[in-house]
Amino acid sequence: MFSVKFIKVQPTTYVLQYKNGLVKREGAGLAFFYYAPTTSMVAVPMGSEDVPFIFDENSADFQQITVQGQVTYRISDPKKIGALLDFSINPVTQKYISEDPTKLSQRIINAVKVLTRKGLQRLPLRDALRATDTMTTQVASAIKDNSELQALGVEILGLSFLAIKPTPETARALEAEAREQILKVADEAVYARRNSAVEQERRIKENELNTEIAVEAKKRQIRETQMDAEQSIQQKQHELQQSEMEAKIALEAKNTELVSLAMENAKREADVKSYSVKGLMQAYQGVDPKLLQALAMAGMQPGQMIAMAFQELADKAGKIGQLNITPDLLREVIDSPVR
């Protein structure tokens, strides 16, 4: 009775019960009693398994690269792998008797390593460091078609490369080169910024100069307009002065003509008076002067007649010895109105 045992496996484990070299019972997640002295058990895990890996490879330019990633697989055909590898377990402890189950992960990692080496050896270091996605696609496609894994009944569910890194020395060298490149780009950016600032300053200066030129052009245009206006005003003033001079000349010509006419008229009047006087003189010629004097005294005032008498006395003053004039006579001469 103590040789009859009970075993129960997980639903993700495919168990095969062998008795006398023949499969007596098989399936996933079984629970049954068995006779221990004549029974052997094979337990094949069917769940997915994540296997991390890290290994070193060389690039096309012989630079060492560290590849880190993870592969996910599952056993799709338990009977096939159970026939090729030893997945026997101790029914009591349910632990594997051999090391084949632990070596399966390494076989898969070795297959990934071989395919990764083929891809990296065609790429230089810089391209290899940037080829994570490309290598993941290529290696994942190739590993799924791997004949060895298909023969074992293993299905690859996924593959990912987490990092492809150079050695620390190479990384520092690349960092230094990248840093120099970044500094160079920064210097070029500073130069471009300064050049842009100089260019902007030049444009500002040009705009200021263009503005000054435009202002000076406007000032010159204003001065020219003012000069044209002044010239027009001067021309108008000249025309006005010319008109005034012409008017004055015409007036002077009229005045000259008037003066000439006045002179001719005065000359004619003088000629008429001369002719009249000449006629009178001819008429008075041969007449006694005393008669003429007597005619001139006709109608004179008493004062005028006294004045004529004094004039005759003055003409004959050399013949008069003594002359007495009374105050009454002088008073009479002074008081008499002169007409």
In this predicted model, what pLDDT tens digit does every residue of 158-199 receive, in sequence order? Answer: 999 999 999 989 888 888 888 888 888 888 888 888 888 898
Q: For residue 268, tell me if it sits in a domain.
A: no
Rounded-to-integer distance, Cα 96 and Cα 42, Å = 9
Q: For residue 24, tell me if it sits in a domain.
A: yes
CATH number at residue 26: 3.30.479.30
Model confidence at 321, pLDDT cuts 50, 70, 90, reads low
Whether the per-residue pLDDT at 113 is higher than 90: the answer is: yes
Q: For residue 314, tell me if it sits in a domain.
A: yes
Domain boundary among 144, 166, 188: 166
β-strand partners of 17:
25, 41
Distance from chain centroid for Cα 183: 29
Q: What is the pLDDT of residue 274?
A: 78
Whether the per-residue pLDDT at 126 is higher than 70: the answer is: yes
Average pLDDT over residues 113-140: 90
Q: Do 28 and 160 sit in the same domain of this protein?
A: yes
Best-predicted range by mean pLDDT (106-115, 269-278, 319-328) = 106-115
Q: For residue 107, tell me if it sits in a domain.
A: yes
Whether the per-residue pLDDT at 89 is higher than 70: the answer is: yes
Q: What is the pLDDT of residue 2?
A: 66
Domain boundary among 166, 196, 218: 166
Q: Do 155 and 8 sit in the same domain of this protein?
A: yes
Model confidence at 111, pLDDT cuts 50, 70, 90, reads very high
Q: For residue 184, tell me if it sits in a domain.
A: no
Q: For residue 279, tell me if it sits in a domain.
A: no
Whether the per-residue pLDDT at 337 is higher than 60: the answer is: no
Structural domain containing residue 157? 4-166
| Percentage above 70 pLDDT, the chain | 84
Q: For residue 321, tell me if it sits in a domain.
A: yes
Q: For residue 110, tell me if it sits in a domain.
A: yes
Q: Which tens digit of pLDDT belongs to each residue from 232-284?
A: 888 888 888 888 888 888 888 888 888 888 888 888 888 888 777 777 677 66
Domain boundary among 166, 199, 215: 166
The number of domains in the chain is 2
Contact predicate 35/7, CB 8 Å: no
